[in-house]
Amino acid sequence: MLSLHDIETVFARRGHEQYAGEPVTQLEHALQTAALAEAAGADDERVTACLLHDLGHLLQDLGSGEDSPTLRGVDDVHQYAALPFLRGLFSERVLGGIQLHVDAKRYLCATVPGYEAALSDDSQRSLKLQGGVFDADQAAAFIKRPGAADAVKLRQWDDLAKVEGGATPSLSHFLVRAQRCCILPPTGLRPGPPKGERPPWDGPAPGGA
């Protein structure tokens, strides 16, 4: 299981990688998705699911950006890849948002006219590898699943989170929100910052010792 510090380290090491077919990095995409959720008033669990929805891409080494695995016909099943590393740290509500965001794409393709056509080339390739557009029965069954409506909303923020140079709060800001919804006792986690102080993973204040 990852700690919040581990998650911060993963983003520090690999967050600079390009998001396939889009003018943002993996970290920028994660922050923009979380920022859209936050701006819409989403709670800590939903914001955290948005922040971490594509973490699975960064926990394996199947290629990214110009080397997208979809070009080799590979589905990296990133919606599942992060779950074993996050289970025990976050609730099923957080995990469910991550797990279901790909099926939410399949659902939106089936139910929103023009949605599939507007997907990027990489997303259209991955859609086929992920099982394709839901048929009517699959769409009806999906939206009845617990957490499906939240996953659809996550996916819609996900779609918008590809703005070159888009301004967002920092990763530290969203890690504070993630920490607030951790289900794990604090052992092994960095403590949250006292009110008004910088979080510990931000390091010393600029100009400080």
Q: By CB under 5 A, is residue 158 in contact with Fe ion?
A: yes
Write the burial class of residue 186 (CB in 10 Å: 0-12 exposed, 13-18 middle, 19+ buried): exposed
In the complex with Fe ion, the residue whose CB is nearer, 26 or 179, is: 26
CB 205 to Fe ion: min, Å: 32
Write the burial class of residue 144 (CB in 10 Å: 0-12 exposed, 13-18 middle, 19+ buried): exposed
Q: Which two tokens stand for residue 148?
A: 């499906």
Q: By CB under 5 A, is residue 76 in contact with Fe ion?
A: no
The answer to whether 53 and 83 have CB atoms below 8 angstroms apart is no
In the complex with Fe ion, the residue whose CB is nearer, 123 or 179, is: 123
From 39-47, 156-164, 190-198, 200-208, give the range in contact with Fe ion by CB under 5 A. Answer: 156-164
By CB under 5 A, name the one of 8, 38, 44, 54 that touches Fe ion: 54
In the complex with Fe ion, the residue whose CB is nearer, 57 or 173, is: 57
Could you give the residue ranges of the DSSP H alpha helices within the chain?
Answer: 4-14, 26-39, 44-52, 55-58, 78-81, 83-86, 92-111, 121-129, 136-143, 148-160, 171-180
CB 101 to Fe ion: min, Å: 6
In the complex with Fe ion, the residue whose CB is nearer, 64 or 179, is: 64
Interface size with Fe ion, residues (CB under 5 A)? 2
Which chain residues interact with Fe ion by CB under 5 A? 54, 158
